[in-house]
Amino acid sequence: MKKEHVVIYPGTFDPITIGHLNIIKRALRIFDKVIIAVAEDTTKDTLFTVEERVQMIKESLKGYKNVEVDTFKGLLMEYAKKKGVHTILRGLRTVQDFEYELQMALANKKLNPNCETIFMMTEGAYSYFSSSLIKEIAHLKGNIKDMVPPPVEKMIKKKFFNKEV
């Protein structure tokens, strides 16, 4: 029986963006399964609850096979061990992302020498998208339609303006 190649794509996804979706869709060409692991414990101030983030991701990826959306608390390496997965996927937009992600990958390697981190550059059209920037644009009533999937745009407008799209 062929061994399944699974990767964990962790993050806060507050909210998921078109750039995140770009990474996920391309990862599905390489891996048999992508586990999107939504971090519950984070030092970031999140706009959305973990349940809302999971809901937006599931709605945004409706129809995609071989994608699992899950949550985790604590160390990513402990979660990876629990899931029996030995590969982590991290998306990169800029050189600054790489510096931060390299530190995380090296720390994770120290915690679990059997786990590898794979970096994937987002396509250029999405390189300036960040969840923080998108939230700021939305808060100032800017157009985010081409930056996030429709379910996310709807949730952001509801959250900021108590308005249905």
Residues identified as active-site? 20, 44, 93, 131
- Give residues with Cβ within 8 angstroms of 162, minimum separation 6: none
- The DSSP secondary-structure symbol of 47 reads S
Give the Cβ contact number of residue 123 at 10 Å.
Answer: 12
**What CA–CA distance (Å, rounded) separates 52 from 131?**
15
Residue (of 69, 66, 80) closest to 31 by Cα position: 66
Give the Cβ contact number of residue 98 at 10 Å.
Answer: 15
Residue (of 131, 163, 165) closest to 148 by Cα position: 131
